[in-house]
A and B are shown apart, each in its own frame.
Chain A
Amino acid sequence: EPEVTQTPSHQVTQMGQEVILRCVPISNHLYFYWYRQILGQKVEFLVSFYNNEISEKSEIFDDQFSVERPDGSNFTLKIRSTKLEDSAMYFCASRQGGYAEAFFGQGTRLTVV
């Protein structure tokens, strides 16, 4: 069964450093998403991406965040200068379109120290 894969599974970084979280969505999907979940809290939407551009972003997704689909298969989330409060699980998701469901990856646990 096709799945969304995320790497790395766990990333530890120092405050102020840049991190790139990587995702390989399901191959025939058209919509791509990043969500995050701070420990013990709700899953929160960050950004959606369609047709090579951001289609929607939340208030969390400020200038420190960016997304890219550099080569038609990978989908990346970059945090330019990490803060302690960026520590969370980050989930990538993809969806084919229409009323199709979204499939989520297993997440990257980001720890900022």
Chain B
Amino acid sequence: DAKTTQPPSMDCAEGRAANLPCNHSTISGNEYVYWYRQIHSQGPQYIIHGLKNNETNEMASLIITEDRKSSTLILPHATLRDTAVYYCIVRVAGIQGAQKLVFGQGTRLTINP
């Protein structure tokens, strides 16, 4: 699985958009970008994933650059409950294989009142 690079920490004001970057310059054509977050010591929570098109769901938007070497997770209106460690993970997705997730250190996002 391709390696990812994320800033160790970020701050964002409550109510503003939080933009979390991720570099994955060695990503392969069949690897998806997944985002998870971990609030305190709870189990990781799935946020969103994508291959090459931008994606949006009720939690966030995922913007993937055209060359797929980087992506940005956008939380449009951050709340205090969004304070967490955010993980960007790339992995092959398909029918074959168990496809474990390889977690890095992630970005510790702090939402300030």
- A residues with CB within 8 A of B: 4, 31, 33, 35, 37, 42-45, 48-50, 55-56, 89, 91, 93, 95, 97-99, 101-107, 109
Q: Which of B98, B102, B104 contacts A55 (CB 8 A)?
A: B98
| Total interface residues in chain B, CB < 8 Å | 23
Closest 7 CB pairs of A and B: A99-B93, A104-B43, A48-B98, A43-B103, A55-B98, A101-B46, A45-B100
Query: In the bound complex, do residue A98 and residue B97 qualify as a contact, i.e. CB atoms below 8 Å apart?
Result: no
In angstroms, Cα B91 to Cα A48, docked, is 15
Chain B hits for A105, CB < 8 A: 43
Chain A hits for B102, CB < 8 A: 45
Query: In the bound complex, do residue A91 and residue B95 qualify as a contact, i.e. CB atoms below 8 Å apart?
Result: no
Given contacts A42-B103, A45-B102, contact A104 B97 (CB under 8 A): no
Q: How far is the CB of A14 from chain B (nearest CB, A)?
A: 23
Q: How far is the CB of B92 from chain A (nearest CB, A)?
A: 9
Binary interface profile of B, 79-110, with partner A (CB < 8 Å = 1, else 0)?
00000000100000111011111111100000
In angstroms, Cα B15 to Cα A67, docked, is 44
